[in-house]
Amino acid sequence: MAARFLLRSQLKLAAASTAVLGGAAAATVATSDDPSKVLKLCTAVPLRLVRDSITAANIAFDYEYSLWGLPEGSNERSKIKHEVHLRSALKLQELCFKNGGIYIKLGQHIGQLEYLVPQEYVQTMRESMLNKCPVSSYDQVCEVFKKELGETPEKIFSEFDPVPIASASLAQVHVARTHDGQKVAVKVQHTHMTDTAAADQASVELIVNTLHRFFPSFDYRWLVDEIAESLPKELDFLVEAKNSEKCLDNFQKLSPHIAHYIYAPKIHWNLSTTKLLTMEYIDGVQVNDLKSIRRLGVQPNEVARLVSQAFAEMMFRHGFVHCDPHAANLLVRPLPSSRKTILGKRKPQLILLDHGLYKDLDFQTRTNYAALWKGLVFADAKAIKENSVKLGAGEDLYALFAGILTMRPWNRVIDTSVDHLVIQGNESDRSELQMYASQYFPQISELLRRLPRVILLMLKTNDCLRSVNNSLLQRSSMETFYIIGRVSSEALIEAKLLQRKSFLTWLSVWLDEILLEARLLAMQVALWLLRTRKTLNL
């Protein structure tokens, strides 16, 4: 019944939107300065809507038909539901690839939402959306070069590999060599993005609004607002170039103790435009490639610590945060200035790529977020509630907010044991997460609607970092939370000093520092005891 209703609704949506948008096309084309471009837009939107509608109806019917009559909680239902999840995830994957652009970015985001969607969707999207994006032809690449720099790649560079080494949702990367011999990476925006970005945005907006109308608990209108704000910035590669330089400058000024462990490729400004970005070529390996990391003589646990430290500094000290830290955007190489130890080990350096999506955290938001994470690490229920409410979760959903940030139920969040936030990544943990996602879906949707968009981006960043950490260690790590606890606490102490500089403030800060060191020392001892116990058990 639900599937038939959804099917009729989706088909009506497709037909109505096609008629409305198609009717508007003639007038728009006639009055536009670039009729061919507008014509592409007016034909792309209905096509995407039809694809979206058919896929949504197909998925809904599959669930309704396949699970019909199977009792809740039965083994047979669980088995069939797993199969339907897999089929549906593949259908959604195919839709994202066909539509491209924004849809691939949405697919990447779904791959991080362990607290909201079934594991089959998460796994399918993670495996496909980061490294298997559609590729623009070399002719299309040349078209971008001619529009942006007036010449083909062969004339601008002494060497240019026509086969890209990577392709993402908005662009692809080619290796080239400048006329003075420097090896560079050239990021070229997909030609269709200029024509279809607005179409994608319009399609997603219409679908999300319509779904909310039919199913009020499905309220993802915030996602439309976020796309509208962030996409123009991500499509301007000069913004990305400025972000990368500002990021490194922040580490030099605000976090000098780890600045030489963090790097971003240098920009060749004379060969960069809004749709072309030429930067230093970095020979590194992806952060989730454990075998290659070990071959470099680098320890994965040291990489995990560095990633945690870098992003804790950005969130709690800098207030300028890279919000797309998935595995394809983080490279690792041995620290150039480091030497091998007797055992052949070297220190890691983290290379940050794709600086298109950043968020500024104002002083108050950054301070509240730091205080929240300090409360989470030290199991301070009062601080967790107080700062969750300040960040927009409300008196009723603060526990759920804490659960989404940590992927732990409330009773574990406020457990005083040192490893209370650690997720082992076993089947029991995964089952528990999926149960909570299913049980609290309406509340999670309401929470996401309430939170400021900047906090939603912090959630996305948090999800990406958790995925990276799990790939490096096959689980979450107590040391990660130790780092978060230290950096967030130190940031709060620095914030207090900035606000008032009286003698009483200095005294209060001095006491805070003593208490912090005592807490961290206790945590270190507990960590050592846990590691020793595990070693002895082996």
Tokens 């009792």 locate to: 71
33 is catalytic: no
> Smallest Cα–Cα separation from 413: which of 426, 428, 423?
423
Packing angle of the helix pair 478-499, 300-313 (nearest 10 deg):
20
Three-state DSSP class for residue 171: strand
Q: Which amino acid, residue 176?
A: A
- Compute the distance between CA of residue 111 and CA of residue 463 in angstroms, rounded to an integer: 9
**For residue 514, what are its two tokens?**
């003593």
Instruction: Give Cα separations from 256 to 260, 261, 339, 359, 498 (angstroms).
Output: 8, 10, 21, 21, 19
CA 445 remoteness from chain centre: 18
Dihedral pair phi/psi, residue 344, rounded to 5°:
85, 15
Tokens 């088909």 locate to: 11
- Compute the distance between CA of residue 187 and CA of residue 241 in angstroms, rounded to an integer: 11
Three-state DSSP class for residue 72: coil
How many other C-beta atoms can be found within 10 angstroms of the C-beta atom of residue 505? Answer: 14
- Compute the distance between CA of residue 456 and CA of residue 355 in angstroms, rounded to an integer: 18
CA 353 remoteness from chain centre: 13
Is 130 in contact with 108 (CB distance < 8 Å)?
A: yes
How many other C-beta atoms can be found within 10 angstroms of the C-beta atom of residue 489? Answer: 24
Which residues, 6+ apart, have CB-to-CB distance to 199 below 8 Å?
40, 41, 44, 45, 48
In 58-162, the DSSP E strands lie at 159-160
How many other C-beta atoms can be found within 10 angstroms of the C-beta atom of residue 36? Answer: 9
CA 15 remoteness from chain centre: 34
Tell me which of 200, 324, 354, 463 is the catalytic residue: 324
Which residues, 6+ apart, have CB-to-CB distance to 214 below 8 Å?
6, 9
Q: Which amino acid, residue 171?
A: A
**For residue 527, what are its two tokens?**
């960590």
Q: Which residues are catalytic?
A: 324
